Structure formats: structure tokens, C-alpha cells
Structure 1
Amino acid sequence: MDRDAFEHLYLHAHTLAEFGFMRAMAGLATTDIAALAPAQLAANEADAQQMLNLDAASFDWSALEGVDAFGAEAVALDAAPAASYDGPTFTEALAIDDEVGGDALPELANYLARAHAARTLLAGRIAHSWATVDRQVLDDALAALPAGPSALTGPLSADELAPWLALYEQRHPALEALVQQIRRLEPF
């Protein structure tokens, strides 16, 4: 994968995660709980219980491997943040709240256009992600995606991204894993 393809993948993965989250929150705000199917209600309750009942034995500690929160590495990071981290986050770069007025959900086409326009603002974060990504793992994750929709590694219109968004909202395991892999590269 070349750098340009990675930049498209970065923008699309963040768009799927952020826009999908916005749609989920908007859906929760408008959903009549009584209208949910019993299976969906049970699944939601199980997810909530799992989140409430985390303990040291069931927590996935692998996410913290290599983190030295109280050692010299943390002190060095606090003292001198890396220049590539300088700049807005994905959400800040889009500044979507400024245009749509807070609670309104933007159209996917507008959101995607904002994401592509923010590419230069996100250059430092994209460069950091590109430098730290394991390209073989990324290629394997891309190969695990279902065939059919347009490639996430090239320019996409809202109509081309919409099937990916639908898959992401259905929690397709391969797509969800790919989006998480890209988002884990993000510097704090």
C-alpha cells in the first residue's frame, strides 16, 4: 500500500467510526425503547452488563502492553510532546459542530467532504500513523474485508462509502477490526 492509499484509508476509517457514532447517538435519542425488538433489548442489556461488570480477570490488558504510565517514558512525553502530534484531532479538524449547529446530524456527503478537506490539517497525525503502522498486518486486515464495495484505500463518494457504513454499523468483524487498527495508531 502506498502513502496516498493509506491516507484515504485513514480518513475513511475515522469517518466510519465518528459518523457511525454520531448516527448511533442520534438513533438512541430518537428510539422508543419500548419499540425495540426483545432480542435487541436483550443484546443491549448484555452489552451494558458486560461494561458494568469488568474486573481485573476479564479486562483486556493487552491494550496497555508497553505503556509505562509512571516511568521515564511518560515524563519525557509530558515534557516534550512530539511535533507530529501537534494539530487537531480528526473531530476537531472537521469542526462539524460549527456548521450544523450542535445536535443536527450532517449528511454523509457533507461529512465525507469535510474529512477529505481536513486532510492537510491532519497531515501530522496521518504521518505518525503511516510511520507506525505494521503494513503486513494492515494488508491482512484489508484482505479480510468482504468483496463488493469500493476500496477504502481510494477516493470515495458518499454513495460508495454508504455500504461500508452499513457494514460498520452492523458490527462486521473484519471491518470493525480494521477501523480499530487504524484508530489505535492515533497519537493522544
Structure 2
Amino acid sequence: MIKRISIILVLSVFVLACNGIEKPKKPDNLISKDQMSDLLYDLYIINSAKGVNRNLLQSNGFNPENYILEKYNIDSTQFADSNTYYTFDTEEYSAIINKVKARLEKEKEIFEELQDKENDSIKKHKDSIRNLDRNRNLKTVKKLDSTVIGKKKIKRPVGIKDSLLQ
């Protein structure tokens, strides 16, 4: 009996707790969707750089989050309030995040194209250097062949003595 009462009590508390979630009110200084997507894009890029070059950023005293907030002329509470407002409505926030993803993928494609062009250029240079080395080696072999052909050794038959030496 006590188990049933405790289970019913826990379930009723759980159900009542879930109903108390209200949409946060719209902040007075809400960041626009476009600016929010730009801001999130920059944050993703900076956080990626921070993961790769953490020591470099720390040694220069660079705080990426403060830089982004200063760039967009907003403070951390304005960003937090706007982010909370947008994240509550999952469809709106998904649209913002999808815009950021599309921009990141576009930038990635551009970067990969540039990297492929650079790799092709490097490969062409390596191939031309390899061809130069081959040509040098062929010239050296030709010189060696021409010197050997010009100085053929004449063999004397075995057993025949030189008549002049007698």
C-alpha cells in the first residue's frame, strides 16, 4: 500500500513539474535571427580555432568569446537572453542552426577547392623537379656510354706472344 502511494505521489509531482514550463518573455534587446546566425557562425569558427590553437590564443591573451561579443556590440546577458528565447522555440532555433550549418558547409567546400588547387600546384612542381632529375641522370648516362664506346679494349688471343718482345 505504501509503495502504491509513493509511486502515485512521485508520478503526480513529475506531471505537475512538467506543466510549469513557460515560454520566456521576449527580451527588450532581442538579437535578430540574422545577427544571431552570424554570431553563432563566428562562435563555431572561433571555438574550432580554440580547439586547434589553444596555446597560441592563450599566449596572446585572446579571449574568443569577448571578441565575438565586442564585434557584434552586445553583452553576454543580451546574448544569453536571446539564446534562451530562441532555444525555447525549437523550430526557430533549428532554422537559425540550419542557416549556420549551410554557411559552414559552403565555406568548407570553398576551402577544399582551394586546398585541391594548392595540392595540384605542389604536385606539378614536384613532377617538374622529378623530370629535371631524370633528364640530368639520362645526360650523365649518355656521357658515360659515349666514353666507354670510344675506348674499346682490344683483346689479344691467348697463347700468342708478341714478336717484338723476343
TM-score by length of 2: 0.24
| Larger relative contact order (CA 8 Å, sep ≥ 6) | 1
TM normalised by structure 1 equals: 0.22
The structure number with the bigger radius of gyration is 2
